[in-house]
Structure 1
Amino acid sequence: MTALYHPTVARLTYRALLGRRRTLMLSALPVLLIAISAVVRAVAGADDSTADGLLSGFALATMVPLIGVIAGTGAIGPEIDDGSVIYLLAKPVKRPVIIFTKLLVAIAVTVAFSAIPTLIAGLILNGNSQQIAVAYALAAVVASIAYSAIFLLLGTVTRHAVVCGLIYALVWESVFGNIVPGARTLSVQQWSLALAQWVGDGDVITSDVGLSTAVVLLTAVTCTATWYAGRRLRALTLAGEA
C-alpha cells in the first residue's frame, strides 16, 4: 500500500478538491439532506419507511453519485484540461501510483461528504431503527469507492468528464436505475443497496441484485476503472519523450 501512495500527490489533490468553491459544492447536498431529515422527523416523527425512502431516493440515488462526480473528476480532470499534469508526470513517480493516490483521496472526500451525512440523517430520521442508518452509511461508503473509480477514469478519458459524469449520475443512476428493471442490475446504487439490505434488520431495505453478485460487480468495476485510468495516464506523453 505504501508503494502505491505518494504523500505529495495526495496533498496536492486534497488542496485542489477542498478549495473554497469545491468545498461549498460538496457541502450543499449533505446540508440539504440533514435539513430535510430534521424537518421530516419534526413533522412526521420516526418512521422506518420514510427513512428508507429518503436515504435511498435522495442520499444514495442522488447525493452520493453527484459528490462522486465532483471528487472523482476533480481529482485529475482539471490538471489534464489545463495541461498542468505535465509537471506531475515529469516527476519520478510511477503513473499507477499517481492514479491510486488520487483515487484514495477522491474516496476519502466522497465518503466524508456522503457517508457521514447519510449516517447523521438516518439517526435523525429514525434513530437507527432496524439498522437503517448504519446500513445506508455502509452503502454510501461502498458506492463512494465505485463512483470515485468510475469518475476518476472519466477524468482521464475525456475533457467533458463532469458533463458525462452528471449524465451518468442523473440519467442512468437516478432515472433508468430506478425505473427500468434491466438497468438496475448495472447500477452502482443497486449494488450498494444489496449490502445495505444485508446489514439492515427486517425487510424495509430491498435491492434487485443479490449480495454475492453486488460484491463481485463492485469489485470488478472499481478495479477495472482504476487499472484503465492508470493505462490512460501512462498513454499521456511529455514533450521530448520517445
Structure 2
Amino acid sequence: MSTVAWITTRGLLGRRRFLLLLPLPILMVGIALIPRFNGINASDWTQPVIVALGFTTLLPIVALIVGTGVLGAEIDDGTITHILSKPLARWRIVVPKLLVAIGVTAATAAVPFYIVGALASGPRLGLGLIVGSTVGAVLYSTIFVALSLISRRPVLLGLVYVIVWEGLLSNLVSGTRVLSVQQYALTIADKASSSPLLSGNVSFTVAVVMSIVVAVGFLALAIRRLESFSVTGETS
C-alpha cells in the first residue's frame, strides 16, 4: 500500500494539474486581507469569504482536481492495467490513492482556512476551520475518487455536482441541506470553533452520522467499481 501511495503522490505532484491548486487558496487569503486591514468588522466579511469562497468553492474544487486525478489519469492513459495485473486486493489500490487525495486536499485547504479564521477571530476559529475543511476533504475526495471510476467524464460531472447541488440547491433549498457535504463540514467547523461567526444549517448529529455514511458508502462503491474492471481497463 505504501508503494501505491508513493507512486500516486509522485505522479500527482509532478503533473501540471497540481499548479491548479494554488490560485484559489491565494485568492481566498488575499480577499480576506482587504477587509481585515481596512478595519471592516469580521461579521461583515467572514461568511462570504469562509462559506461562499472557502466551503462552497475552494474545498470542493481542490478535491475535484485531486480526487479525479489519483485514478482518473491512470484510467485515461491506460496505465491502470499495470496495477490491475498485480495480485493486489482492489481495496489495497483504492485506499492508498484515496488517502493521498485526502492528504493533498486537506493540506491545500488547511493553510488558507486557518489564515482567514485567524484574521477574522483568532487561532480558535482557524483551528475549527481546519477540522471542518478536513472533514470536507475526506468526503469530497471519496466522492470524486468513486466518480472517476464510474464515469469517463468525472470532472464535468463533478463540476455539475459542485455548482448545482453544493453551490445552489444546498444554499437555497433547505430540504437539500441534509444531503450536502458543505453543510456537514460547516456544521463541524462551527462546533469545533464555537464561533458566532459561523452557523451550521444541520444538526451536529446529522453532520457526523451522514459524514460516516457518505465516506463508507462511496469508498465501498469505489472498491466495488474497481473490482469490475478487467486487465484491459474496461468494466466487465
TM-score, normalised relative to structure 1: 0.91
Q: Does 1:77 align with 2:72?
A: yes
Find the counterpart in structure 2 of residue 11 from structure 1: 6
2:179 aligns to what SS in structure 1?
coil
Distance (Å, rounded) in 1 between the aligned partners of 2:44 and 2:202? 20
Find the counterpart in structure 2 of residue 194 from structure 1: 187
Find the counterpart in structure 2 of residue 86 from structure 1: 81
Assess, with a 3 A threshold, how the Cα gap between structure 1 residues 181 and 92 changes in structure 2: closer, same or farther: same
Find the counterpart in structure 1 of residue 20 from structure 2: 25
Distance (Å, rounded) in 2 between the aligned partners of 1:179 and 1:52? 15
| Displacement of 1:192 | 1.2
Find the counterpart in structure 1 of residue 229 from structure 2: 236
> Which one is further off, 48-57 or 180-189?
48-57
Distance (Å, rounded) in 2 between the aligned partners of 1:43 and 1:107? 35
Q: Does 1:181 align with 2:152?
A: no
Conserved in 2, the CA contact under 8 Å of 1:46 and 1:126?
Answer: no
Conserved in 2, the CA contact under 8 Å of 1:49 and 1:204?
Answer: no
Q: Does 1:136 align with 2:125?
A: no
| Displacement of 1:132 | 2.5
Q: Could you give the per-residue CA deviations for residues 116-144 of structure 1, whole angstroms, max 9, x where no partner exists?
A: 2211222133334xx32222221101000
Q: Could you give the per-residue CA deviations for residues 153-177 of structure 1, whole angstroms, max 9, x where no partner exists?
A: 0010011001111111122111111
Distance (Å, rounded) in 2 between the aligned partners of 1:138 and 1:192? 8
Assess, with a 3 A threshold, how the Cα gap between structure 1 residues 182 and 238 changes in structure 2: closer, same or farther: same
Find the counterpart in structure 2 of residue 162 from structure 1: 155
Aligned-residue CA RMSD (Å):
1.7
Conserved in 2, the CA contact under 8 Å of 1:38 and 1:125?
Answer: no
Q: Could you give the per-residue CA deviations for residues 190-211 of structure 1, whole angstroms, max 9, x where no partner exists?
A: 1111112212335332122111
2:98 aligns to what SS in structure 1?
helix
1:74 aligns to what SS in structure 2?
coil
Q: Could you give the per-residue CA deviations for residues 34-56 of structure 1, whole angstroms, max 9, x where no partner exists?
A: 11111221123452452233111
Conserved in 2, the CA contact under 8 Å of 1:194 and 1:206?
Answer: yes
Identity %: 36
Conserved in 2, the CA contact under 8 Å of 1:51 and 1:126?
Answer: no
Conserved in 2, the CA contact under 8 Å of 1:72 and 1:106?
Answer: yes
| Displacement of 1:10 | 0.8
Q: Does 1:100 align with 2:58?
A: no
1:89 maps to amino acid: L
Q: Could you give the per-residue CA deviations for residues 25-77 of structure 1, whole angstroms, max 9, x where no partner exists?
A: 01110111111111221123452452233111111111000001011111101
Match of 1:115 among 107, 110, 117: 110
| Residue segments in structure 1 that go unaligned for 5+ positions in a row | 1-5
Runs of 4+ in 1 over 3 A off after TM superposition: none
Distance (Å, rounded) in 1 between the aligned partners of 2:52 and 2:92? 36
2:220 maps to amino acid: W
Q: Does 1:68 align with 2:63?
A: yes
Match of 1:40 among 35, 50, 65: 35
| Residue segments in structure 2 that go unaligned for 5+ positions in a row | none
